[in-house]
Amino acid sequence: MELIRGLADAARGRHVQVYSGDAASQKALMGLGVGGSAAAPASADYLMAVGVNAGGNKLDAFLHRTLDWRVYLAADGSAIATATLTLRNDVDVAGLPRYIVGPYDARFRKGVNEQIQTLYVAGGYGFTRASLEGRQVSAEAQTDLGGLALTQSVGVAPGDSTTLAYALTRPNAAERLGEDRLGYRILLRPQATVWPDRVKVKVAAPGGWRFAAVPAGATGDGGTATWSGTLAEERELAFELTRDG
């Protein structure tokens, strides 16, 4: 029983995923929660942060990632959004062997976590600006798996942190549920990592609108709603808005 519980926890965190070439078997695996998917949803908003260690070391065991998503909705369902990723390298290199802290060769530095960081968002988003530590930079943007993939390469020094950010727009981020109602949903999909991401989602209503329903654990003051938590498993958040009066 303990083994089964451990396997279930691993599947929820996407540490274990199974694929079958047989359509019926794959459908069953998806129903059990072990099939996994990296495809963006057809309509809902979407966030999936994926980091690849490019330094040939074991420093991901000390890497903590925080994702902040702020979306400002308009009455027509369009949105302006800002995504911010902060990477913190908590390694103390003293006494740790080279195969953990590097460098792998002369291109790299001891204790520096060289990351290729990609943020996947919904395919309807347009990418308007990227920054690194507050400075505007270039970033790779391409369609992938039904979404938009935004990529930057960064190096995080030991005991330090680095922040990447993106400005985005989307014409149909929220769904019209009626003349005076909007629905906004976002799928948060985790990467299997040693330390699960910390995520904060803040949604701002259009002027003259308020939140009628928010996800469990979210807080709001009428015009804004905020959810935050540890992304140990895939999660969908649903917000409903109504026009005042």
- Point out the least confidently predicted range of 8-22, 93-107, 198-212: 8-22
pLDDT at 24 (0 to 100): 81
Of the two residues 211 and 178, the one the predictor is more confident about is 211
Whether 6 and 49 map to the same domain: the answer is: no
Whether 92 and 184 map to the same domain: the answer is: yes
> Per-residue pLDDT tens for 128-145?
999 999 999 999 999 999
pLDDT at 35 (0 to 100): 67
Whether 31 and 113 map to the same domain: the answer is: no
pLDDT of 224 strictly over 80: yes
Whether 145 and 177 map to the same domain: the answer is: yes
Q: Band of the pLDDT at 215, cuts 50, 70, 90?
A: very high
Question: How many structural domains does the chain have?
Answer: 2
Whether 142 and 99 map to the same domain: the answer is: yes
Whether 5 and 102 map to the same domain: the answer is: no
pLDDT of 38 strictly over 90: no
pLDDT at 112 (0 to 100): 98
Q: Is 31 exposed, middle or buried (0-12, 13-18, 19+ CB in 10 A)?
A: exposed
Q: Band of the pLDDT at 37, cuts 50, 70, 90?
A: confident
> The domain containing residue 80 runs over which residues?
40-243
Which CATH number do you get for residue 143? 2.60.40
Whether 11 and 67 map to the same domain: the answer is: no
Whether 88 and 29 map to the same domain: the answer is: no
